[in-house]
Amino acid sequence: MSEADTLLAQGRRRVVIEGVKPQIDHGRFAVKRIVGDRMEIEADIFADGYDEISAWLLYRHENERGWHEIPMQALVNDRWRAVFDLEQLGRYRYTVQAWVDAFGSWRRDLKKRVAAAQDIALQFLIGANLLEDASSNLKSADARRLKASIKALRGEGSDEARLQVALDGDLAALMARTPQKGRITKFDRELAVVVDRERARFSAWYEMFPRSCGKGTFSDAAKYLPYIAEMGFDILYLPPVHPIGKTHRKGSNNRPTAAPDEPGSPWAIGAEDGGHKGVASQLGTQADFRAFVARAKQYNLEIALDIAFQCSPDHPYVKEHPQWFRWRPDNTVQYAENPPKIYQDIYPLDFETADWQALWQELKSVFLFWIGQGVRVFRVDNPHTKPFRFWEWLITEVKQQYPDVLFLAEAFTRPKIMYQLAKLGFSQSYTYFTWRNERWDLIEYFTELTQTEAREFFRPNPWPNTPDILHEYLQTGGRPAFIIRYILAATLGANYGIYGPAFELCEHVPRESGSEEYLDSEKYQTRAWALDRPDSLHPLIARVNRIRRENPALQSDWRLKFHTTGNEQLIAYSKSTETLDNVIVVVVNLDAHNTQAGWLHLTTKDVGIPAHEPLVARDLLTGARYTWHGADHYVALNPHGQPAHVLRIETLA
């Protein structure tokens, strides 16, 4: 059918639907929400002329066949809106349809004619004809209802009696949802929303190498669970726990050869005793791992497991599936490279292999295996180095079966690639937070993440450090730098994480000048951590995580708002609930060496306090209480004493 023929066939569809939001890339990707959220849909809906329009939102869960229908409400300037509740995990679909409501238009004009004292006898007959035209589209009970109304409008009753029938609200509602066939305009695509559990939006992550706990077993690692739970974390993330290859094993500080007693990198996965579904014998057995997961659950901790799709030269895949690797002309496997860096202990998988479908299925089975061991959260290593379509397929497949599973993308790469991975289905993502240290940079970046379309699909998870990244700010700023970066991460992000115990013990020595690598990194060796050191940030971390749990304002990102301070070394921002019954204002000194002072501009409108009333700002870190009048408030922060305020806004009452 030609375009002209299509237009001719649709000629009676007078309504236009456009500007439907939310949608990502014209509906190519799903938006993200949390179970229990209310999903707000808006659209521009209009038609030629002055007729009334009936607009409806259609939605259904992926497990349902039929659509739920909700009438949309007109806002202003032809903008319409409807809301539905997201009651289940998984994927919902939604779209919009509308039509010219001939009966509604007639009813509206009838009211005007009555108000103008015009003769309306003929109008009753016109209305009856409209009802009769619609009756063929209705089920028997509704059709009988219309027949009674038609009879009344065509009858000999008084104008008052017939007018009462014509203006009946139930009749109008019935007709508003009864379009004439061939005149319905339906939005040209179905859109999707993926609904996750609450932990996708609000979580605190703690990374730990179990091999550094005591003798390096899961049993020893379990003894650290109370320590981690006391700090208030939700998720304990473990680097890969699989057998580690011996061929080209890396030594301490990434030396190209390892001493006989050195454990190697956990990311060099695979040995004679197993691969991605195995557990390193030094850590214990699969039963020990399951016991560790169960023990963590008793402390309200979920275990997140690192999934790194790469292999050591000793991985069983290399012998069993050589076609999954890229072979060089000298008949050796191509190891991982990022010139000038080389990783001889790692073989990347070849996703362009002719056997790619079997490879995809096997890698999916890795996730399913660990789900079977009780894991529901995965941190995925370098997902940007694997095909995008692979991740879209895998995440969709896994979440159809296990909609409660969460995926964190570890992808420090180009912005568009990070966004693409989030669109493909990753529940959360690492960010550029580590390298955003200036006030303007933080404001610009977090405004992008929380106030633009990006927030519909990208859930940021800022980390001030990782085993791979020790930023110069932490290297040179001392203990105040760690406090500053921690407060920022934990309050700017509803999700955040730290790599410990290196973080709370303020580990700050790089491998060499100009490097972001740790000296004596746990990536290549075990470490003995003195957790009871008096300078540990353990108490501060515990307090901040408690503040986060007690204040709903800090449990989402969308209502983040920055405020002026008059000093580029002071950053101030607020988060609030939608009803403004919980408002948190954070002020941080970004200078880790010197006291900084300025005037915080904060109006009563910003925090939901009636105009001209004083503000009470209670510091949740120290318990101090400040009474503020007006809109400008003096703040001074000493990095060696108190580098930040976390203030809950209250009234004097």
b/e sequence 303-319, b meaning 16+ C-beta within 10 Å:
bbbbbbbbbbbbbbbbe
Q: How far apart are CA 354 and CA 197, in angstroms?
A: 37
257-274 residue pLDDT tens? 999 999 999 999 999 999
DSSP 8-state assignment for residue 397 = H
Domain with CATH 2.60.40.10 in the chain: 1-196
Domain with CATH 2.60.40.1180 in the chain: 561-650
401-458 residue pLDDT tens? 999 999 999 999 999 999 999 999 999 999 999 999 999 999 999 999 999 999 999 9
The closest alpha carbon to 461, from 276, 242, 230, 304, belongs to: 304
The closest alpha carbon to 485, from 546, 437, 533, 519, belongs to: 437
> Tokens 């990311």 appear where?
267
Active-site residue flag, 410: yes
Domain with CATH 3.20.20.80 in the chain: 203-548
Q: Which residue has the higher pLDDT, 599 or 132?
A: 599
Q: How far apart are CA 568 and CA 648, in angstroms?
A: 23
500-517 residue pLDDT tens? 999 999 999 999 999 999
Average pLDDT, stretch 41-68? 96
Q: Residues 435, 441, 447, 452: what is their CA dihedral angle, to the nearest 10 degrees?
A: -80
Rounded (5°) CA angle 498-285-374: 60
> How many helices and strands, by DSSP H and E, does the chain display?
17, 29
**Which residue out of 207, 381, 456, 522 is catalytically annotated?**
381
Q: Give the containing element (helix H, strand E) for 162.
A: helix 159-166
460-511 residue pLDDT tens? 999 999 999 999 999 999 999 999 999 999 999 999 999 999 999 999 999 9
CATH architecture classification, 561-650: Sandwich (2.60)
User: Where does 315-427 show beta strands of DSSP type E?
Assistant: 336-338, 341-343, 347-348, 377-381, 406-410
For residue 637, the cross-strand partners are 596
Residue 195 tokens read as 């609904």
Residue 15 tokens read as 């309504």
Average pLDDT, stretch 328-357? 91
pTM of the prediction?
A: 0.94
**Which residue out of 37, 101, 410, 504 is catalytically annotated?**
410
Helix, strand and coil content of the chain, in percent to the nearest 5, comes to 35, 25, 40
Predicted pLDDT at 646: 98
Confidence check: pLDDT of 573 > 90: yes
- The residue type found at 98 is A
| Multiple choice CATH, 203-548, 3.30.360.10, 3.40.50.720, 3.20.20.80, 3.40.50.1820 | 3.20.20.80
Residue 238 tokens read as 């473990």
Average pLDDT, stretch 300-314? 98
Antiparallel, parallel or unpaired: β 302-307 and 377-381:
parallel
78-98 residue pLDDT tens? 999 999 999 999 999 999 999
Confidence check: pLDDT of 347 > 90: yes
pLDDT band at residue 159 using 50, 70 and 90 as cut-offs: confident
> Tokens 């999916």 appear where?
364
359-389 residue pLDDT tens? 999 999 999 999 999 999 999 999 999 999 9
Helix (H, G, I), strand (E, B) or coil at 192: strand
CATH architecture classification, 1-196: Sandwich (2.60)
Active-site residue flag, 170: no
